[in-house]
Amino acid sequence: MAVKKIGVITAGGDCPGLNAVIRSVVKRGIVDYNIEAIGFLDGYRGLVENKSIDLTYDRVSGILNAGGTILGSSNRDNPFNFYYDNKQEEPIDVSNLVVENYEKNKLDALVCIGGDGTLTMAHMFAKKGLNVIGVPKTIDNDVQGTDQTFGFDTAVYTATSAIDQIRTTAASHHRVLVVELMGRTAGWLALFSGIASGSDVILIPEIPFNIDSICNFVTDRSTRGKRYSIIACAEGAKPAGGDSIVIENKDKRTGMVRLGGVGNYVAQEIEDKTEISSRTTVLGHLQRGGSPTPSDRILASRYGSKAMELVMDGVFDVTVCLKGNKIENFPLDKVANNPRLVSRDSEFLQIARSVNVSLGE
């Protein structure tokens, strides 16, 4: 197909590496294929309201190492279930507006950079006839079909660095310090940063924890002269037989609960049951920010280049993905509403157990 113009969006939660993808898509499109690119502002909302900027060569120069996204993002704007503002009582389906604006801008393809939710919507638009390519982004590393999302490596580095610094105060005060990490229903971020930081306990959503088992573990460490313990705890971790702990019930615009508070729960239970002083640190959005690591810059650049290649080859309704060391593509219909979780036979769980890390079982 003759491609003359493409659109780009960044949607969902922000993460390091978004700008690197935008840069790679646009520069390869201009240098190799002489195409025109525009970027819609604030995720799918920009497509609904037809708000965009020209993505010229100069505009995307110098953004490789910049965190965030020059296009803005939103994780609350679903065109199939859309709210124009918080005063609106019921959502409406404005997906046809997106199709109209795609056609009005004379686009030949749309590159959607985002996580599970963004790519699920991308597939829905592919079914409405749009030429869509996905690029998998999230610090949670939970997109199906790819070995790794960009943004994950930077978040692991940030979380690991924080735990490294927390260790000194835990040792000084002989405390149990619980570090609550993001990840929603997937434990990749807590598992990787827990292993990398040498955390003593790692709690992930895929393995409900037994609080008595954790208490026995930290007590045993204390009696052996290990007078402090570090616990890397995913925000979606939950006690065996119980539910995930939430700060806020379902948001009407996203349909998602706001996870949080499990770190405080674990710390309080440990202190009550063992009388070992325990504290919690919640890293929160710190994990999303900052400049991407070299690894993420390279992965994001590879993804962007491959996305542009797929556009020119006319391969749509797929997401780019990493398989081993190769950049390939994966059907969007297999990504939709199908998060990639840590399996019980994961090599990384085995690594954790092999160095005597408790998983709260």
List the catalytic residues.
140
What is the enclosing helix (H) or strand (E) of 220? helix 211-223
**Both structure tokens of 325:** 């060391």
Say how many C-beta atoms besides its own lie within 10 A of residue 105's C-beta: 17
CA atoms within a 13 Å half-sphere pointing along the CA-CB vector of 360: 24
Looking only at the bridges linking them, the beta strands covering 246-248 and 5-10 are unpaired
Gap between the Cα atoms of 261 and 236, Å rounded? 9
Helix H or strand E encompassing 163: helix 152-173
Distance CA 269, CA 201 (A): 15
Contact 282, 245 (CB under 8 A): no
Contact yes or no for 182/13 (Cβ under 8 A): no
For residues 64 and 204, give the distance between their C-alpha atoms in angstroms, rounded to a whole number: 32
Instruction: Count the alpha carbons within 13 Å of 37 in the hemisphere toward its beta carbon.
Output: 26
Q: What share of the chain is helix, strand, coil (3-state, %, to 5)?
A: 40, 20, 40
Distances (CA, A) of 203 to 55, 86, 263: 42, 35, 10
For 178, phi then psi, to 5°, come to -100, 125
Opening angle at CA 194, ends 258 and 325, nearest 5:
95
How many other C-beta atoms lie within 10 A of the C-beta of residue 294?
11
